[in-house]
Amino acid sequence: MYPEFGRDPRNLRLGLATDGMNPYGNLSSKHSSWPVLLIIYNFLYWLCMKRKYMMLSMMVSGPRQPENDIDVYLSPLIEDLRLLWDEGVEVFDAYEKVNFNLRVLLLWTINDFPAYGNLSGYSVKGHHVCPICKENTSYHQLKYGRKTCYIGH
Amino acid sequence: MKRNHPYRRLKKPFHGCQEDKTAPPPLTGDEVYNRVSHIEVAYGKTVKHSGVKNIWKKKSVFFELPYWSKLDVRHCIDVMHVEKNVCDSIIGTLLNIKGKTKDGINARKDLVEMGVRLELQPQPHGKRTYLPPACHTLSKSEKISFCNYLRGVKVPQGYFSNIKSLVSIEDLKLMGLKSHDCHVLMQNLLPVAIRGILPKNVT
């Protein structure tokens, strides 16, 4: 779709992963921080998920989780990503000893289902939770288990 | 599932009617954008206003990126997480660990409510109710042999954590499973472990 982007193998493809974690372990059970990691998919697939090659781009700290307001925290990152996509930045290639214009594409986000709702803006609670079936999600409220089950998925 | 898969025609093992629908196509990025583009949200604490409920909560920041609506896969679910949860539920139900099992009296009552698997409905016996064993229920000796198998497994170095420390024979439980343990259990050990114990239609 973007051939001039794909032509240069040095252009980066990123994945964005986020989830709530508790920095204090079981010392304080209410705290929840949200690290936002960027993963470079240009690396070999057994390297790109190693700690050495992941980038902690930001840390949404605070005692409570940001929920839907995570957009506000993410907007500086998105600004940078826009700059990296629209214009790119001048970067030195140490192998060929030349400067080149580096551009970056954010490929996808990786998260669990509640965080999926926060990032994509889709509702992940209640009856219409399937992001593919939308309003036509088939659900069934169990009378005794007091849970909703989604039959037909 | 394929259009002509034999499971589609079975009524009894599932919820009682044939399944002839196909999977709906997912929304493309542009369609999502059209749906969310008019939503205006105030971030932070706001007064809750009752009104028309929308299944879309906000327009995600990622739509600021010019290429975002052109991508095919925009969000991925963390498979490691899902696998761990599934593994925990299966182990809890198999070993019938209290608080972890999904096969309790309420589940059986719901089955009656839906009118499926009537052979499993709870039967009152005086003050107590009796839950008939399902096809996946293990007896005590079977549980012991299951745990003993897991204790005795030998794996290459660096492949799996020390499983002897995870299995407790006294309580017939698996404790402190990390997500990688769950992965190995689900992929390799569990099918072998229950092959000799459970009937063929389960395994």
For B81-116, what is each residue's pLDDT tens digit? 888 888 888 888 888 888 788 777 788 887 777 777
What's the pLDDT score for residue B50?
53
On whether the CB atoms of residues B74 and B60 are closer than 8 A, the answer is no
Contact B62 A106 (CB under 8 A): yes
What's the pLDDT score for residue B16?
65
Contact B67 A105 (CB under 8 A): yes
Chain B nearest CA to A51, separation (Å): 16
Residue B192 sits at φ, ψ, to 5 deg, of: -70, -40
Give the amino acid at B201: N
The Cα B52–Cα B33 span in angstroms is 20
Of residues B3 and B62, more confidently modeled: B62
| Residue B157 buriedness (CB in 10 A; 0-12 / 13-18 / 19+) | exposed
> Number of residue pairs across A and B with CB atoms under 8 Å?
115
The Cα A73–Cα A115 span in angstroms is 14
Contact B76 A109 (CB under 8 A): yes
Q: For residue A57, what are the β-bridge partners?
A: none
At residue A57, the 3 state secondary structure works out as strand
* pLDDT-above-70 percentage for chain A: 93
pLDDT digits (tens, 9 = 90+) for B144-183: 888 888 888 888 888 888 888 888 888 888 888 888 888 8
Contact A140 B56 (CB under 8 A): no
ipTM for the predicted complex comes to 0.72
Rounded average pLDDT over A62-82: 82
pLDDT at B10 over 80: no
Chain A nearest CA to B99, separation (Å): 13
What's the pLDDT score for residue B121?
78
Residue A148 sits at φ, ψ, to 5 deg, of: -100, 135
- Residues of chain A in contact with residue B55, where contact means CB-CB under 8 angstroms, are 122-123, 128, 134-135
Nearest CA in chain B to A75: B61
- Residues of chain A in contact with residue B63, where contact means CB-CB under 8 angstroms, are none
Q: Which residue among A81, A113, A135 sits closest to B77, beta carbon to beta carbon?
A: A113
Helix (H) or strand (E) holding B174: strand B173-174
Q: Which residue among A69, A86, A121 sits closest to B59, beta carbon to beta carbon?
A: A121
pLDDT band at A52 (very low <50, low <70, confident <90, very high): confident
The Cα A15–Cα A48 span in angstroms is 10
pLDDT band at A16 (very low <50, low <70, confident <90, very high): confident
pLDDT band at B42 (very low <50, low <70, confident <90, very high): low
Contact A110 B68 (CB under 8 A): no
pLDDT digits (tens, 9 = 90+) for A99-151: 888 888 888 888 888 888 878 777 777 777 777 776 667 777 777 766 777 76
Of residues B49 and B34, more confidently modeled: B34
Interface of B with A in 48-87 (CB under 8 A): 55-62, 64-68, 70-71, 73-78, 81-82
The Cα A116–Cα A18 span in angstroms is 9
pLDDT at B63 over 70: yes
From residue B98, give the alpha-carbon distance in Å to each of B8, B107, B183.
Answer: 34, 14, 23
User: What pTM was estimated for this model as a whole?
Assistant: 0.76
For chain A, where are the E strands, in sequence order?
Answer: 12-18, 34-40, 54-60, 89-93, 98-102, 104-111, 140-141, 148-149
Tokens of B57: 């909560």
